[in-house]
Amino acid sequence: MAIAKPGHSHNSSVSAHSHGADATQSHGHVHNPESLQRILNRFARVEGHIRGIKTMIQEGRPCPDVLVQIAAVRGALDRVARIILDEHLSECITRAAEEGNIEAEIDELKAALDRFLP
In sequence order, what are the residues at sequence separation of 6 or more whose Cβ sits closer than 8 angstroms to the Cβ of residue 73?
46, 49, 50, 53
- Say how far apart CA 101 and CA 103 lie, in whole Å: 6
Is residue 58 in a domain?
A: yes
pLDDT of residue 66: 98
pLDDT of residue 22: 43
Structural domain range at position 68: 32-116
Is residue 16 in a domain?
A: no
Is residue 22 in a domain?
A: no
pLDDT of residue 52: 98
Residue ranges, the chain, pLDDT below 70: 1-30
- Say how far apart CA 54 and CA 47 lie, in whole Å: 11
Is residue 63 in a domain?
A: yes
Is residue 21 in a domain?
A: no
pLDDT of residue 19: 44
Structurally, the chain folds into a number of domains equal to 1
Is residue 11 in a domain?
A: no
DSSP state of 25: G
Indicate which CATH number applies to the domain containing 111. Answer: 1.20.58.1000
Is residue 23 in a domain?
A: no
pLDDT of residue 76: 96
